[in-house]
Amino acid sequence: MFVSARALEMPGVIEQSVYVMPSKQSWPLTPAAPGAAAAQGWTTLNWTNPYGFVGIAPSGSNWDTLPTFNDGINSEGLSVGALWLAPGTQYGTIGAGTQSNQVSFLDFPAWILGNFASVNDFLSAFQKIIVVGPQPGEKFYVPLHYIVTDNTGQSAVIEFIGGTPQIYKCTNGVMTNWPTYDWQLTNVKNYYNLTLVGSATSTSGAGNPVGGGLVGLPGDSLSASRFVRATILSQGISQLPADGMGWLPAPGIFQTSPPSKTPPGFAGPEQTAVMVALQLTQICMGTPYGMLLETVKNSPSTTGTPDTMPPSYTTTYGDYTMWTSVRDHTNLKYYFMSAFSGILTMIDLNSLNFATTPAYPKAASIAIMPQGGAPWRVDATKMLTPAAA
C-alpha cells in the first residue's frame, strides 16, 4: 500500500473546503459570480474529465469567482499538491500557447486530477500543453510548484523557472518550498552521515542509544531544513514491508511471525500507514500557530490602529500550518486535519458516485477552515469503565 501527505503553511486566514468534483465535468469552469474577469480566458484548452476527484480549494467568494485546487486525489489514486515556490517561479506568458493547448496555472491541478491515472500518462500529455500565468508582480500572480504522485508511489515534481518547465522524477515523494528542487537534492547530500539505525533502544541500551545517528538533523522551519528532515525520517517506514504486515509490535512474536489478523486494540496496516504519514508530516513540516511571528508597522490598514510618529509596531502571528492532508493511494481515501482540530476527518472515494455528484458550482463540500460547528475533540468522559481485574 502507498500513502502520501502534505501540509499547507500560510499567514492569515484563508477559507477553504474539501470539494467533490464529478467525472464528466467540463473545463475550464465558468465562475459562478463576477470578480476575477482578468483571469478568465487564460485556459484555452477545453476538456471533460474522465475521472472524478476530491480536493481542497478556497471557499466562500473565492469559490464563486476564482475556483482553483491546491491539493487532491482522484478516483484512480493519483494526487496533486501545489506548494509555494518564490522567488524564481515564472509561468509561460499568457497568450503564448495556441488556441487549444493553454492551461492556466490555476486550472493545472484540476487538469491533472481529472485526466490521468498515472504519473507517466500525465508526463506524456504535459509535453503537449503550455502552463501560463501572470508574471511576477502582476495581479493574480501566485508562485507555485507541483508534485504529482500515483498509486505505485511514483512522483514527479514540476517547476516553472524563467518561463520554462522543469521536470524531476521524485523517488521519495518529498517536496517543500524554495529553493528549487534541484538545489534541495544537492543540499540533502550534505547529511549523508545521518542514520535512523541505532545501537539499541531506550530499554536495551545504556546511555543515549536512541536517535544518536540523527545528531545534526536540522530542526528549524526553513524549507531546506524541512526537506532534509522529511527525506531522512521517511526512510524508516519505507524499509518496512510494503504490504504493512508486521509494522506494529503486537503481543507475542508479531515482528517475525505476524498473526493471521490484527489483535484487538492494535492498528492494522491501513491505520498505521495513515497515522505514520500524518505524524511524519506534522514533525517534518508542521508549524504550530504562534511558533513563527512577525512585526507589523501599525496603521489603519495593517493593525487597525492610527499611524504614529515615530512609527510603532505590533508583534503578530506569521505562517502556521492551516491544514494537513493524507492521501491513501491504495484504498482511495482522503484524510485531512485543520490547525484547530485534533480530529482526523476522512472521505472515502469508493463510496462516492462521481457520475452523479453535483457539478460546479454546486459541488458537494465540507469546510476545513474554519470548520464552523464541526467537533474539534471527542469527549470520552462517559466512555470510562472500571479497570479489569
What secondary structure does DSSP assign to 182-248, as a single string?
Answer: HHHHHHHGGGTT--S--SS-TTTSSSS-TTGGGTT---SS-HHHHHHHHHHHHHHHHTS-TT-TT-S
- 254 burial level (CB within 10 Å; 0-12, 13-18, 19+): middle
CA 5 centroid distance within chain: 6
| Predicted pLDDT of residue 33 | 67
Mean pLDDT of the chain: 86
Least confident of 39-53, 62-76, 259-273, 339-353: 259-273
For the segment 192-218, the average pLDDT, to the nearest whole number, is 77
| Predicted pLDDT of residue 389 | 67
Please, which pLDDT band fits residue 36 given cuts at 50, 70 and 90?
A: low
CA–CA distance, 152 with 28 (Å, rounded to integer) = 29
Least confident of 7-16, 235-244, 321-330: 235-244
Please say if the pLDDT value at position 262 is more than 80.
Answer: no
Q: Which residues contact 147 (CB under 8 A, 6 or more apart)?
A: 6, 80, 81, 83, 155, 156, 157, 158, 170, 173, 175
Phi, psi of 245 (to 5 degrees): -70, 135
Please say if the pLDDT value at position 234 is more than 50.
Answer: yes
Please, which pLDDT band fits residue 364 given cuts at 50, 70 and 90?
A: very high
For the segment 160-181, the average pLDDT, to the nearest whole number, is 91
Please, which pLDDT band fits residue 186 given cuts at 50, 70 and 90?
A: very high
Please say if the pLDDT value at position 6 is more than 80.
Answer: yes
Q: 1 and 244 in contact (C-beta within 8 Å)?
A: yes
Q: 319 and 292 in contact (C-beta within 8 Å)?
A: yes
Question: For the stretch 315-342, what's the b/e string if a residue is b when 16 or more beta carbons lie within 10 angstroms of its beta carbon?
Answer: eeebbbbbbbbbbbbbbbbbbbbbbebe
Please, which pLDDT band fits residue 289 given cuts at 50, 70 and 90?
A: confident
For the segment 358-370, the average pLDDT, to the nearest whole number, is 90
CA–CA distance, 94 with 42 (Å, rounded to integer) = 6
| Predicted pLDDT of residue 320 | 84
- Please choose, from the candidates 276, 264, 233, 268, the residue with its C-alpha nearest in 3D space to the C-alpha of residue 248: 268
| Predicted pLDDT of residue 244 | 60
The sign of the CA dihedral 224, 225, 231, 234 is negative
Please say if the pLDDT value at position 35 is more than 80.
Answer: no
Please, which pLDDT band fits residue 226 given cuts at 50, 70 and 90?
A: very high
Going by their DSSP bridges, the two strands 365-369 and 16-21 should be labelled as: antiparallel
| Predicted pLDDT of residue 254 | 45
Please say if the pLDDT value at position 57 is more than 70.
Answer: yes
| Predicted pLDDT of residue 205 | 61
More confident residue, 329 or 309: 329
Q: 132 and 125 in contact (C-beta within 8 Å)?
A: no
Helical packing angle, 181-188 and 223-238, nearest 10°: 60
Cell numbers that stand for 259 in this block: 498473526
Please say if the pLDDT value at position 130 is more than 60.
Answer: yes
Residue corresponding to grid cell 473546503: 17
CA–CA distance, 19 with 218 (Å, rounded to integer) = 36
More confident residue, 386 or 31: 386
| Predicted pLDDT of residue 300 | 86
| Predicted pLDDT of residue 258 | 55
| Share of residues in the chain with pLDDT > 90 (%) | 49
| Predicted pLDDT of residue 54 | 97
Please say if the pLDDT value at position 187 is more than 70.
Answer: yes
Please say if the pLDDT value at position 64 is more than 90.
Answer: no
CA 157 centroid distance within chain: 13
Q: What does pTM read for this prediction?
A: 0.89
For the segment 68-96, the average pLDDT, to the nearest whole number, is 93
Which residue(s) pair with 160 in the sheet? 165
